[in-house]
Structure 1
Amino acid sequence: MNVEYRVLGPLEVLRDGVPVPVPAGRGRVLLATLLLRPNQFVSVDELVERLWDGEPPTVDRAHKTLQMVVRRLRLALGDANCVRTTTGGYLAEVHPDRLDLALFRNLAAEGEFAGALAHWRGPVASNVDSPHLHREDVPPLVEERLVVHGRRIDADLARGRGAELVDELRELTREHPLREGFWAQLVQALHRAGRTQEALAAYEHIRDHLADELGVEPGQPLRELHERLLDPVSRADVPRQLPVPATHFAGRDAELARLTAAARGGAAVVITAIDGTAGIGKTALAVRWTHEVAERFPDGQLYADLRGFDPSAEPADPAEVLAGFLGAFGVSGGRVPVDLPERAALYRSVVADRRVLVLLDNARDVEQVRPLLPAGRGCLAVITSRNRFTGLVVREGAVPVTLDVLDDEDAVALLTARLGADRVTAEPDAVNDLVAFCGGLPLALAVAASRAAGDPGLTLRALVDELTTAGGPMTHVEAVFATSYRVLDDDTARLFRLSGLTTGPDISLDAATALDGRRRADVRRSLQALTRMHLTTEHTPGRYAFHDLLRAYSCSLEEHDPAAVRRLLEFYLHSVDSADRLLRRGRAEIELCPLSAEVQPVLFEDRAIAAAWCETEHENLLAAVRLASDHGLHQHAWQLATVMFGYLHLRQRPSERIELYHVALAAARASGDRYAEGVTLHSLGNAYSSLGAHSEASEAYAEALRVREEIDHLHGIAVTLDQWAINHALSGDLESAKALHERAVAKRREQGSPTGLATALNNYAMTLVALKDFETALAVNDEAHAAVVEAGMTELVASTLDTRGLLHLERGHLAEAVATFQRVLALPGSQLSYDVMAVTLENLATAHERAGRPEDAVAALKEALLIREELGNEAAAARLRARIAELS
Structure 2
Amino acid sequence: MNVEYRVLGPLEVLRDGVQVPVTAGRGRVLLATLLLRPNEFVSVDELVDRLWDGEPPTVDRAHKTLQMVVRRLRMALGDANCVRTTTGGYLAEVDPDRLDLTLFRRLVAEGEFAAALAHWRGPVAADVDSPHLHREDVPQLVEELLVATGRRIDADLARGRSSELVAELQELTGQHPLREGFWAQLVQALHRAGRPEEALAAYERIRAHLADELGVEPGQPLRELHERLLDPAGVPRQLPAPPEHFAGRDRELTRLSALAIGGAAVVITAIDGTAGIGKTALAVRWAHTIAAKFPDGQLYADLRGFDPSADPVAPADVLAGFLDAFGVPGGRIPADLPERAALYRSVIADRRVLVLLDNARDVEQVRPLLPAGRGCLAVVTSRNRFTGLVVREGAVPVTLDLLTAEDATALLTARLGEERVQSEPDAVADLIAFCAGLPLALAVLASRAADDPTLTLRALADELAASDLPDSVETVFTSSYRTLDPATARLFRLIALATGPDISLDAASALDGRPRTEVRKSLQDLTRMHLLTERTPNRYSFHDLLRAFSLARSEDAERPAAVRRLLDFYLHTAEGADRLLRRSRVALTLPEISTGVTPTPLADRAAALKWSETEHRNLMAATRLASGHGLYQHAWQLPTTMFGYLNVRQVPSERVELCRIALDAARAANDPFAVGNTLHSLGNALSATGSYDEADDCYAEALAVRENIGHLHGIAVTLDQWAVNHGRRGDLKSARPLHERAVELRRVQGEPAGLTTALNNYAMTLVGLKEHETALAANEEAYATITTAGLDYLLASTLDTRGMLLAELGRISEAIATFHRALALPEDQVATSVRLVTLENLADTHLRRGRPADAVAVLREALRLREAQGNEPATVQLRARIAELGW
TM-score above 0.5: yes
| Counterparts of residues 823-842 of structure 1 (less than 5 Å) | 823-842=821-840
What secondary structure does 1:307 align onto?
coil
Which has the higher mean CA deviation after the structures are superposed, 411-420 or 303-312? 411-420
Q: Which has the larger radius of gyration?
A: 2
CA contact (8 A) 1:242 1:303 kept: yes
Instruction: Evaluate the alpha carbon distance shift between residue 292 and residue 788 of structure 1 in structure 2; reply closer, same or farther with a 3 A threshold.
Output: closer
CA contact (8 A) 1:801 1:820 kept: yes
Deviations 1:443-463 (A, max 9, x none): 111111111111222222221
Q: How far, CA to CA, are the matches of 2:868 and 2:738 in structure 1? A: 33
Instruction: Evaluate the alpha carbon distance shift between residue 456 and residue 618 of structure 1 in structure 2; reply closer, same or farther with a 3 A threshold.
Output: same
Q: How far, CA to CA, are the matches of 1:232 and 1:417 in structure 2? A: 39
Question: Is residue 431 of structure 2 the alignment partner of residue 434 of structure 1?
Answer: yes
Q: Which residue of 2 aligns with 1:52?
A: none
Q: Which residue of 2 aligns with 1:496?
A: 492
CA contact (8 A) 1:310 1:548 kept: yes
Question: Is residue 435 of structure 2 the alignment partner of residue 423 of structure 1?
Answer: no
| Counterparts of residues 264-343 of structure 1 (less than 5 Å) | 264=260, 268-276=263-271, 277-343=274-340
Among 520, 531, 536, the residue aligned to 2:532 = 536
What secondary structure does 2:825 align onto?
coil
Deviations 1:584-610 (A, max 9, x none): 222121111221231111121221121
Among 546, 555, 572, the residue aligned to 2:551 = 555
Q: Offset at 1:851?
A: 1.4
CA contact (8 A) 2:268 2:279 kept: no
Deviations 1:235-260 (A, max 9, x none): 78643322222222222122122222
Deviations 1:478-525 (A, max 9, x none): 111111001100000000000121101111100000000000000000
CA contact (8 A) 1:334 1:873 kept: no
Among 680, 704, 708, the residue aligned to 2:702 = 704
Instruction: Evaluate the alpha carbon distance shift between residue 570 and residue 231 of structure 1 in structure 2; reply closer, same or farther with a 3 A threshold.
Output: closer
Question: Is residue 404 of structure 2 the alignment partner of residue 398 of structure 1?
Answer: no
Q: Which residue of 2 aligns with 1:349?
A: 346
Letter matched to residue 553 of structure 2: L
Q: Offset at 1:625?
A: 0.7
Letter matched to residue 420 of structure 1: G
Q: Offset at 1:847?
A: 1.8
Instruction: Evaluate the alpha carbon distance shift between residue 671 and residue 235 of structure 1 in structure 2; reply closer, same or farther with a 3 A threshold.
Output: closer
Q: Offset at 1:878?
A: 6.8
Among 379, 384, 387, the residue aligned to 2:384 = 387
Q: Offset at 1:321?
A: 1.7
Q: What TM-score, normalized to structure 1?
A: 0.72
Q: Which residue of 2 aligns with 1:515?
A: 511
| Counterparts of residues 159-178 of structure 1 (less than 5 Å) | none
Q: How far, CA to CA, are the matches of 1:493 and 1:321 in structure 2? A: 33
| Structure 1 unpaired stretches of 5+ | 1-190, 201-225
Instruction: Evaluate the alpha carbon distance shift between residue 743 and residue 868 of structure 1 in structure 2; reply closer, same or farther with a 3 A threshold.
Output: farther
Q: How far, CA to CA, are the matches of 2:240 and 2:716 in structure 1? A: 50
CA contact (8 A) 1:744 1:760 kept: yes
Instruction: Evaluate the alpha carbon distance shift between residue 231 and residue 613 of structure 1 in structure 2; reply closer, same or farther with a 3 A threshold.
Output: closer
Question: Is residue 450 of structure 2 the alignment partner of residue 453 of structure 1?
Answer: yes
Q: Offset at 1:885?
A: 4.9
Among 342, 355, 364, the residue aligned to 1:367 = 364
Instruction: Evaluate the alpha carbon distance shift between residue 295 and residue 799 of structure 1 in structure 2; reply closer, same or farther with a 3 A threshold.
Output: closer
Q: Offset at 1:750?
A: 2.4
Q: How far, CA to CA, are the matches of 1:659 and 1:804 in structure 2? A: 36
Instruction: Evaluate the alpha carbon distance shift between residue 883 and residue 409 of structure 1 in structure 2; reply closer, same or farther with a 3 A threshold.
Output: closer
Q: How far, CA to CA, are the matches of 2:827 and 2:387 in structure 1? A: 57
Q: Which residue of 2 aligns with 1:860?
A: 858
Among 619, 622, 638, the residue aligned to 1:621 = 619
Q: Which residue of 1 aligns with 2:542?
A: 546
Instruction: Evaluate the alpha carbon distance shift between residue 291 and residue 795 of structure 1 in structure 2; reply closer, same or farther with a 3 A threshold.
Output: closer
Instruction: Evaluate the alpha carbon distance shift between residue 543 and residue 229 of structure 1 in structure 2; reply closer, same or farther with a 3 A threshold.
Output: same
Instruction: Evaluate the alpha carbon distance shift between residue 869 and residue 746 of structure 1 in structure 2; reply closer, same or farther with a 3 A threshold.
Output: farther
| Counterparts of residues 679-698 of structure 1 (less than 5 Å) | 679-698=677-696
What secondary structure does 2:549 align onto?
helix
Instruction: Evaluate the alpha carbon distance shift between residue 740 and residue 866 of structure 1 in structure 2; reply closer, same or farther with a 3 A threshold.
Output: farther
Q: Which residue of 2 aligns with 1:260?
A: 257
Q: How far, CA to CA, are the matches of 2:765 and 2:233 in structure 1? A: 49
Instruction: Evaluate the alpha carbon distance shift between residue 887 and residue 251 of structure 1 in structure 2; reply closer, same or farther with a 3 A threshold.
Output: same
What secondary structure does 1:362 align onto?
strand
Residues matched between the structures, number: 665
Q: Offset at 1:413?
A: 2.0
Q: How far, CA to CA, are the matches of 1:837 and 1:253 in structure 2? A: 56
CA contact (8 A) 1:801 1:824 kept: yes
Q: How far, CA to CA, are the matches of 2:355 and 2:777 in structure 1? A: 59
Q: Which residue of 2 aligns with 1:241?
A: 238
What secondary structure does 1:471 align onto?
coil
Q: Offset at 1:644?
A: 0.2
CA contact (8 A) 1:274 1:401 kept: yes
Which has the higher mean CA deviation after the structures are superposed, 645-654 or 266-275? 266-275
Letter matched to residue 319 of structure 2: L
Q: Offset at 1:576?
A: 1.4
Q: Which residue of 1 aligns with 2:727?
A: 729
CA contact (8 A) 2:534 2:540 kept: yes
Q: Which residue of 1 aligns with 2:562?
A: 564
| Counterparts of residues 782-801 of structure 1 (less than 5 Å) | 782-801=780-799
Question: Is residue 568 of structure 2 the alignment partner of residue 573 of structure 1?
Answer: no
Q: Which residue of 1 aligns with 2:23?
A: none
| Counterparts of residues 49-198 of structure 1 (less than 5 Å) | none
What secondary structure does 1:402 align onto?
strand
Q: Offset at 1:814?
A: 1.5
CA contact (8 A) 2:331 2:652 kept: no
Q: Offset at 1:231?
A: 9.5
Calculate the aligned-residue CA RMSD, in Å: 2.5
Instruction: Evaluate the alpha carbon distance shift between residue 236 and residue 558 of structure 1 in structure 2; reply closer, same or farther with a 3 A threshold.
Output: closer
Instruction: Evaluate the alpha carbon distance shift between residue 733 and residue 520 of structure 1 in structure 2; reply closer, same or farther with a 3 A threshold.
Output: same
What secondary structure does 2:466 align onto?
helix
What secondary structure does 2:501 align onto?
coil
Q: Offset at 1:234?
A: 7.8
What secondary structure does 1:760 align onto?
helix
Instruction: Evaluate the alpha carbon distance shift between residue 822 and residue 247 of structure 1 in structure 2; reply closer, same or farther with a 3 A threshold.
Output: closer
Q: Which residue of 1 aligns with 2:148?
A: none
Q: How far, CA to CA, are the matches of 1:507 and 1:810 in structure 2? A: 54
Q: Offset at 1:870?
A: 4.5
Q: How far, CA to CA, are the matches of 2:438 and 2:304 in structure 1? A: 20
Deviations 1:570-594 (A, max 9, x none): 1111111111111122212111122
CA contact (8 A) 1:704 1:720 kept: yes
Letter matched to residue 524 of structure 2: Q
Q: How far, CA to CA, are the matches of 1:633 and 1:745 in structure 2? A: 37
CA contact (8 A) 2:268 2:400 kept: no
Q: How far, CA to CA, are the matches of 1:591 and 1:373 in structure 2? A: 44
Q: Offset at 1:409?
A: 2.1
Deviations 1:363-407 (A, max 9, x none): 111111111112222322111100000001111111111112112
Q: How far, CA to CA, are the matches of 1:754 and 1:233 in structure 2? A: 49
Q: How far, CA to CA, are the matches of 1:569 and 1:235 in structure 2? A: 38
Q: Offset at 1:232?
A: 5.9
Instruction: Evaluate the alpha carbon distance shift between residue 757 and residue 357 of structure 1 in structure 2; reply closer, same or farther with a 3 A threshold.
Output: closer
Q: How far, CA to CA, are the matches of 2:348 and 2:416 in structure 1? A: 43
Q: How far, CA to CA, are the matches of 2:317 and 2:568 in structure 1? A: 25
Instruction: Evaluate the alpha carbon distance shift between residue 682 and residue 869 of structure 1 in structure 2; reply closer, same or farther with a 3 A threshold.
Output: farther
Letter matched to residue 849 of structure 2: A
Q: How far, CA to CA, are the matches of 2:228 and 2:561 in structure 1? A: 57
Q: Offset at 1:673?
A: 0.8
What secondary structure does 1:544 align onto?
strand
Among 471, 478, 496, the residue aligned to 1:475 = 471
Which has the higher mean CA deviation after the structures are superposed, 763-772 or 739-748? 763-772
What secondary structure does 2:299 align onto?
strand
| Structure 2 unpaired stretches of 5+ | 1-190, 201-222
